[in-house]
Amino acid sequence: MKPLRIGIDLGGTKIAAIALGRQGKIAAQTTVPTPHGNYEATLEAIRELIASLENDLCTQASVGVGMPGSISPETGLVQNANSTWLNGRPFDKDLECILGRPVRLANDANCFALSEATDGAGKDLACVFGVILGTGCGGGIVRDGAILDGPRGIAGEWGHNPLPWPDGAELPGPECWCGRHGCMECWVSGPALSADHMRHTGEQLDAREISRRANKNNRHARSTLARHASRLARGLASVINIIDPDVVVLGGGLSQMPHLYETLPDLLAAHIFADSTDIAVRPPIHGSGSGVRGAAWLWGGPDGSFSHTSAG
């Protein structure tokens, strides 16, 4: 096993890179803008990032990549990526070709969950559900230190399930980029929060401003956050009832809203099908850097004991 591990987090607007030592110490890190819509330029940007880090550190490293969507086990091509220029491409093969070495890839939410299970908010717990609440809504499951992928490569992808227990006003729900209506991503992502506020108030505000106004007791902003928390709780409860995780770790920009950790446990309790309805909902230990750390840990955790994937 190489002593240095490079993680790449391929986002829609930026590509983050990190080099970790065996005990998780950061040796180097950097970011560059994502070449939006350009597949070949995306590959080249990743190659240049890795070459720059290895040149600075004077060593070759293992490479793990967190990506939107996943590699279909059926076709070997990218599926379900909201960075749509990746879809239908043999991204893993092309990346290995341009780098001239093996590369491990996983969905970005899976990488987030792996990071928090390895040395974050879910350390030493058997089952961690990692949730991304940012420009989209994703999820990843880590069981006994291994990412649960499943035979279709979609385990944990709760963002394109419909909102559970909807009321009449929530049907059929907003149209999603995937072509369906009422997906969780249309209700609980950052843009969804803003859109819901706009529908109810006519005000075009981003999630940060809505949260700021709610903290100043603006009733419209507080109502928006209450609707969002209710929908988030219903969506999470449906996952909890299936996989029964030890902890839910929230990531992405909305994970910085402290009211979620205060309100979600009680909201979840009403929908959890068990005698004990307690569930830990925690912020990420590694914050916005958790996904890129998880990509590096695809080659094993700090003690080398973690496997990177499980068929479930």
Q: Please, what are the domains in the chain? A: 5-111+289-299 (3.30.420.40), 124-284 (3.30.420.40)
DSSP assignment of 245-309, as one string? -SEEEEESGGGG-THHHHHHHHHHHTT--SS----EEE--TTGGGHHHHHHHGGG--TTS---S-
pLDDT of residue 57: 93
pLDDT at 89: 98
The stretch 60-74 carries a mean pLDDT of: 95
- Kindly state the percentage of the chain with pLDDT values over 90: 88
Burial class (CB in 10 A: 0-12, 13-18, 19+), 62: buried
Question: pLDDT band at 303, cuts 50/70/90?
Answer: low
Is 55 buried (19+), middle (13-18) or exposed (0-12) by CB count in 10 A?
exposed
Q: Is the pLDDT score of 1 beyond 60?
A: no
Calpha distance 132→109 (Å, rounded): 6
pLDDT class of 307 with cuts at 50, 70, 90: very low
Given pLDDT bands bounded at 50, 70 and 90, which one contains residue 312?
Answer: very low
Cis peptide before 172 (omega within 30 of 0): yes
Task: Tokens for 293, please give them.
Answer: 């750390």
Residues 6+ apart with CB under 8 A from 167: none
* Residue whose C-alpha is closest to residue 311's, from 64, 161, 146: 146
Asked if pLDDT for residue 163 goes beyond 50, the answer is yes
172: left (phi over 0), alpha (psi -120 to 50) or beta: alpha
The pLDDT of residue 110 is above 90: yes
